[in-house]
Structure 1
Amino acid sequence: MQTLKTSAIVVLMMTVLYSAYVSMTTPPDPLPQGVESLLVESGMDSLPDDFGSFGIDDGTPTAFDDFSMSAPANEPDPSLDNANGPLSSFNSVDQTFADLETNLDSSDDQFSNESFQMSDLDTPRGVSRLPDVDESATAVTISADPGRDYPTTGADFSLPDPNEAIRMTENSVTSISDSQTSATDSLGYLDVPSTSSQTSALPSAKSAASDVAAAGLANAIATADRQFNADRRREALATLSLFYETPNLSSDQREQLLVRLDPLARDVIYSPEHLLEEPHRVGSNETLMDIAQKYDVPWQLLANINGVSDPVTVLPGTDLKVVRGPFRADVDLENKELTLFLGDLYAGRFPVGIGNDPAPRPGTYTIQEKKSAKTYYDMAGTPIPPGSPRNPYGSMWIDLGQGISLHGSPKTDSATNEGCISIAGNYSRDVFGILSEGSSVTIR
């Protein structure tokens, strides 16, 4: 027992001696660089009790006024500067669809503003040309977007409605006009001529609405150009499709929009590239008609896109480009144009002729029946068989109900003013293969 006590005392003494040795041999922590330089300049060997001689505040507040809970609002935060210098605005590559070539032989032709047709599918997609890179500029790392798969063509891609700002501006125009009229009525000055400022208020507000539309379109075009350059063509088409029916666009602005929309619709919807859905692998004993029924589109559309000549015999295991329908159509009677949409995506446009047998009436219709040949009865009730140059239906007749119809034309390259709503013969085959029974058609 005495031996254990002696051992414990010895261990304790050795611990104390070792701690004293470490404290005497360990050098003190170095002073901060700024304080050390001040000591050297002042010739002092140690820190003073009072730091006031160095112009350093010891941090002790003298009054409650020293406390402040806010920082200057306009002073920049230096912590936001990165290792390469202060943050600057990002300038994207200034490239538009007009820079695209229409073939791979270095042709400089730009996209034309012609209506889309299925024969355009044979035209190879152009190769973009990027401007020269400034070697002195700071490199920016751009990561590839892995999200290239689009499981459906549902309307899950949403952007702010460009017409909302225009409607708000137009409402303010109406409010200004009503308030001026109300003030005049209450004062009894109905016969007093209005001043120039009053008469100019309404036009200037309408001009503001046009400016809002132009600004929104300009932003959409810049966004779509960046998306196209990043090979995100489906998103670029969705971005610009929202602006197709925007009012108050000038002819130049509309041309700038269409020169992008038409080639995008060709690539995204009608080319063999799988930009909308995963490829459909043909199963055993599965025909093209079966596949088309599954995706709610005519089998002729899938045959045109995939180059299938026999819709009944399709090799099992073949991967097909598919589009999930149905499509819908919008007929503009004033501009004589039919526009196709796939959900919210612009899908092409065609010129039409307007007849009076019967005259089309504005409204929303549903396709009841489709025929590639239809007998026409003239005003006298005389039947004109299909194939006759006097039959205005041509090779397509689509019944919308209530006597209204979309039909072809006996002329290959132009619509006719006979019948109801006519589409040129070479375009009518495309429309027949795109619209389904049950598709919605709006006439306005």
Structure 2
Amino acid sequence: MDCGATADSFPRTSVHLSPSVANLGDLREGDIHRQGETAVQTLKTSAIVVLMMTVLYGAYVSMTTPPDALPPGLQSALVESENSEFGDGLPADFADFGIETGIPERASEMSMASDMLSSPGQGDSRADALPPFGGEPAGIEGSAEPPSFQFSDVDVDTELPPTASRLPAVAEGTSVAIAPEPGREYPSTGNSFSLPDPAEAADIASPPAAPEVSPQDTAADMESDAAAAGLANAIATADRQYQEDRRREALATLSLFYETPNLTSEQREQLLSRLDPLARDVIYSSEHLLEEPHRVGGNETLMDVAKKYDVPWQLLANINGISDPVTVLPGTDLKVVRGPFRADVDLANQEMTLFLGDLYAGRFPVGIGSDPAPRSGSYTIQEKKSAKTYYDMSGNPVPPGNPRNPYGSMWIDLGQGISLHGSPVADQATDQGCISIAGNYSKDVFGILSEGSSVTIR
């Protein structure tokens, strides 16, 4: 051996690492992953085992735990007898539990009981036969337990005393005729029976027919009742307002009911007995109950003031007691009302009613003539005159002031030949002309209605 050989003279050997050795790191990671999965499976198995043990323990406890004791009264009633049957029937204590004995009063009615019902077993006990509390009663289809009571211990052959009867004994298969006892008197009821008369029976069965009432009559009655109730309330309210010196409000309250239809004479009298004095005080007196006083300015006449308030100057002169409408001292406070007035003529009742706006302002009797005859409708005053020549049916003129002139001292033209006029008689309207007003009242009407006022004839 040549010891002097150098290292370079030795053959060189190449060392190659296998793939398994090269991937050692990957193998270690796989082992860790598998170990984690094994631990998870172990935990799941342990949880399932614990759950099953819990369920088994619960079942064991429920099976081994004795049931709750029955009430003391019921336990004493369920004590078994020697033959596991009740000798003398159920105890009397069972009545406290609302349980009936179930034993019929006549055993002969149950002659087929022994054939239909089977005897309970010798080892059965009455306590087992009773259903548990809250459970299914014994004897119901689908239950294996026997009924709680059977009739096997009833001796059907025991002879029972016969039931008392007034009928004679009858052998089976024979018949006995029953006849009244000879010599015995049977009292009569003392009543006789007879069929009723069909006509009388029909009258009794059929109630009297109610009077026929049309819907229109019913509606009218209801409306009349409502109006009467409303009027009564209005009168009470107006009386209270009058006592409180609120006369204008009282007049407005009652004025709403003046044109209410179907008022009785008594109701109308109650209404008018209040309206007339209220209208006199509120409208025609010198008290300032409607408007603030009007103070006359320099060079202002009564005609100027009347034109401003749309009323005739005669009305303001009558209310304020002025004789000369031209000479009115400046600074004088005048009672004024704001017009115009309107009129409503009722041909059937021969009455004319005046209104100031919605306020009742008085009424006057009228006469209805035929020259020409008035016609229903709405009119407007066209012209006013204190004297007018009248032409009779022959066309002859009758001058003013003549007793044959029906116009008197007032003539108000409504158009279409219709007019309101006075009367030659001071205290009475005439039936001549068209629509007449008594002479004394005609001057008042002339001073209240103005040209342009509306007049309704109905």
TM (norm. structure 2) is 0.54
* Matched position secondary structure for 1:308: coil
Partner of 1:275: 289
Report how far residue 206 of structure 1 moved. 2.6
1:1-12 matches, cutoff 5 A: none
Matched, 1:248 2:262: yes
Unmatched tracts of structure 2, length 5 or more: 1-208
CA distance, structure 1, for counterparts of residue 228 and residue 331 of structure 2: 49
CA distance, structure 2, for counterparts of residue 272 and residue 230 of structure 1: 20
CA distance, structure 2, for counterparts of residue 338 and residue 412 of structure 1: 17
Deviations 1:78-113 (A, max 9, x none): xxxxxxxxxxxxxxxxxxxxxxxxxxxxxxxxxxxx
CA distance, structure 2, for counterparts of residue 398 and residue 318 of structure 1: 32
CA distance, structure 2, for counterparts of residue 420 and residue 322 of structure 1: 32
> Which letter does structure 2 place at the counterpart of 1:267?
D
TM (norm. structure 1) is 0.56
Moved more, 368-377 or 202-211: 202-211
* Matched position secondary structure for 1:340: strand
CA distance, structure 2, for counterparts of residue 296 and residue 205 of structure 1: 42
Partner of 1:426: 440
CA distance, structure 2, for counterparts of residue 208 and residue 410 of structure 1: 46
Matched, 1:334 2:348: yes
Partner of 2:89: none
> Which letter does structure 2 place at the counterpart of 1:295?
Y
1:99-114 matches, cutoff 5 A: none
Specify which of 410, 413, 432 is matched with residue 399 of structure 1.
Answer: 413
Report how far residue 208 of structure 1 moved. 2.3
CA distance, structure 2, for counterparts of residue 392 and residue 237 of structure 1: 35
1:138-217 matches, cutoff 5 A: 196-199=210-213, 202-217=216-231
Report how far residue 199 of structure 1 moved. 3.3
CA distance, structure 2, for counterparts of residue 207 and residue 286 of structure 1: 57
Query: Judging changes above 3 Å, is the alpha-carbon distance between structure 1 residues 407 and 435 closer, same or farther for their aligned structure 2 residues?
Result: same
CA distance, structure 2, for counterparts of residue 376 and residue 248 of structure 1: 39
Q: RMSD of aligned C-alpha atoms?
A: 1.3
Partner of 1:291: 305
CA distance, structure 2, for counterparts of residue 251 and residue 352 of structure 1: 20
Unmatched tracts of structure 1, length 5 or more: 1-194
Matched, 1:303 2:317: yes
* Matched position secondary structure for 2:323: coil
Specify which of 381, 391, 399 is matched with residue 385 of structure 1.
Answer: 399
Specify which of 234, 238, 246 is matched with residue 224 of structure 1.
Answer: 238
* Matched position secondary structure for 1:221: helix
Report how far residue 248 of structure 1 moved. 1.3
Deviations 1:131-150 (A, max 9, x none): xxxxxxxxxxxxxxxxxxxx
Report how far residue 198 of structure 1 moved. 3.6
Matched, 1:436 2:450: yes
Matched, 1:234 2:248: yes
CA distance, structure 1, for counterparts of residue 223 and residue 256 of structure 2: 17
Deviations 1:249-299 (A, max 9, x none): 100000000000000000000000000000000001100000000000000
Q: How many residue pairs are counted as aligned between the two chains?
A: 251
Partner of 2:422: 408
- Asked which structure has the greater CA Rg, the reply is 2
Deviations 1:16-44 (A, max 9, x none): xxxxxxxxxxxxxxxxxxxxxxxxxxxxx
Point out 4+ residue stretches in structure 1 off by more than 3 angstroms.
195-205
Report how far residue 379 of structure 1 moved. 0.4
> Which letter does structure 2 place at the counterpart of 1:359?
A
Partner of 1:187: none
Report how far residue 203 of structure 1 moved. 3.5
Deviations 1:118-167 (A, max 9, x none): xxxxxxxxxxxxxxxxxxxxxxxxxxxxxxxxxxxxxxxxxxxxxxxxxx
* Matched position secondary structure for 1:199: coil
Report how far residue 200 of structure 1 moved. 6.1
* Matched position secondary structure for 1:196: coil
* Matched position secondary structure for 2:373: coil
Report how far residue 240 of structure 1 moved. 0.3
1:43-82 matches, cutoff 5 A: none
Report how far residue 196 of structure 1 moved. 3.2
Query: Judging changes above 3 Å, is the alpha-carbon distance between structure 1 residues 366 and 201 closer, same or farther for their aligned structure 2 residues?
Result: closer
> Which letter does structure 2 place at the counterpart of 1:432?
F
Matched, 1:368 2:389: no
CA distance, structure 2, for counterparts of residue 343 and residue 268 of structure 1: 13
Report how far residue 210 of structure 1 moved. 1.4
CA distance, structure 2, for counterparts of residue 368 and residue 292 of structure 1: 18
Report how far residue 209 of structure 1 moved. 1.9
Partner of 1:182: none
CA distance, structure 2, for counterparts of residue 250 and residue 323 of structure 1: 33
> Which letter does structure 2 place at the counterpart of 1:247?
P
Report how far residue 341 of structure 1 moved. 0.2
CA distance, structure 2, for counterparts of residue 198 and residue 258 of structure 1: 36
